[in-house]
Amino acid sequence: MATATIIDGKRYAARLRAAIAVQIAQLKADHSLTPGLAVVLVGDDPASQIYVRNKGLQAREAGMHSFEYRLPATATQAELLARIAELNQESAVNGILVQLPLPKQIDPEAVIAAIAVGKDVDGFHPLNAGLLAVGGTAMVPCTPLGCLMLLKDYAGPLAGQRAVVLGRSNIVGKPMAALLLREHCTVTLAHSRTRDLAEECRRADILVAAVGKAQMVKGDWIKPGATVIDVGINRIPTPDGKGRLAGDVDFASAVEVAGAITPVPGGVGPMTIACLLLNTLTATCRQQGIPAPDVRPAAE
């Protein structure tokens, strides 16, 4: 019998977007400002097209301007950098996101570094990563920011809790660890070379899994009552050939042990786009010298 609280990220994200929309309406009324988000897509990867469409749709629904730029899969790095340079200068654009992955002829690090730091709403620019690490005012990557919001609501006071982050990527694992450290957790960052991963996980009051391996974290890796955030998005085969999405956590066994857990889909995923909108609002305010609002999800 399932015991854990299921963390409904989809519903939480909808409430967060509603709160963002209220703040945007306020920004328009008080300062005649409408945040603008530019999304750049290179090539025609089907998953990326869906992500880009959803980002534009949700930005418009929140009351933002949404600008979409498409470059062919054959675009050169110089062409993409030229587009970014234009967007850096464009005053109607407050946030710039380049959809990853990029075609192989383009170096993603060079592209990320070319985005104006204040418009880097993905929070991937090395300067923003550095600011987060040293505790400065940074743009925080959207996925870890969304995970932190859920943890603040579902894991109780974070200070002093043992947190284990599985995965050390620049877009999820490392910034997640930095955020939890900022909240005074005792943080372990585990990865593919970690010895006895299961034992590390069993010590965690908070476990964030971001490895990209379907159902790797089993129920007996989890401390009873722990809060489990599953970032993984993996497609696993089904008999009908369509496949289905699964996280990095084996939900069926984990739900028996955890205190609270995010499902996949419907957990972290929707929070990522909501936090992109939040970052765009924050970026707009900072660019205009207006205090960025402390946006909390609207009441249910």
Which of 268, 278, 283, 285: binder of ligand NDP (CB under 6 A)?
268
Q: Considering the rule CB under 6 A, would residue 212 count as an interface residue with ligand NDP?
A: yes
139 near 123, Cβ under 8 Å? Answer: yes
Q: Considering the rule CB under 6 A, would residue 41 count as an interface residue with ligand NDP?
A: no
* # residues contacting ligand NDP (CB under 6 A): 23
- Dump strand ranges (E) for the chain: 5-6, 36-42, 65-71, 95-98, 162-166, 186-190, 206-209, 227-230, 234-236, 244-246, 260-261
Which range binds ligand NDP by CB under 6 A, 26-34, 51-59, 110-118, 266-274?
266-274
Q: Considering the rule CB under 6 A, would residue 186 count as an interface residue with ligand NDP?
A: no
Sheet holding 95-98, edge to edge: 65-71, 36-42, 95-98
Q: Considering the rule CB under 6 A, would residue 254 count as an interface residue with ligand NDP?
A: no
Which range binds ligand NDP by CB under 6 A, 153-161, 178-186, 205-213, 281-289?
205-213
Q: Considering the rule CB under 6 A, would residue 83 count as an interface residue with ligand NDP?
A: no
153 is catalytic: no
Q: How far does Cα 216 stand from its chain's mean position? A: 21
CB of 173 to ligand NDP, least distance (A): 5
Pairing of strands 260-261, 5-6: parallel
99 is catalytic: yes
**C-beta of 13 vs 131, nearer to ligand NDP:** 13
For residues 227 and 294, give the distance between their C-alpha atoms in angstroms, rounded to a whole number: 24
Q: Considering the rule CB under 6 A, would residue 272 count as an interface residue with ligand NDP?
A: yes
Q: Considering the rule CB under 6 A, would residue 48 count as an interface residue with ligand NDP?
A: no
Which range binds ligand NDP by CB under 6 A, 28-36, 64-72, 190-198, 289-297?
190-198
Beta-ladder partners of 69: 40
For residues 246 and 126, give the distance between their C-alpha atoms in angstroms, rounded to a whole number: 31
For residues 177 and 134, give the distance between their C-alpha atoms in angstroms, rounded to a whole number: 13
Which of 202, 205, 206, 215 minimizes the C-alpha distance to 249? 215
**Helix and strand element counts for the chain (H, E):** 10, 11
Catalytic residue among 58, 119, 122, 215: 122
Residue 209, number of CB atoms within 10 A of its CB: 29
196 is catalytic: no
The interface with ligand NDP within residues 214-243 (CB under 6 A) comprises 231-234
Q: Considering the rule CB under 6 A, would residue 111 count as an interface residue with ligand NDP?
A: no
Binding residues for ligand NDP (CB under 6 A)? 143, 166-169, 171-173, 191-193, 197, 210-213, 231-234, 268-269, 272
Mind telling me the catalytic residues?
55, 99, 122
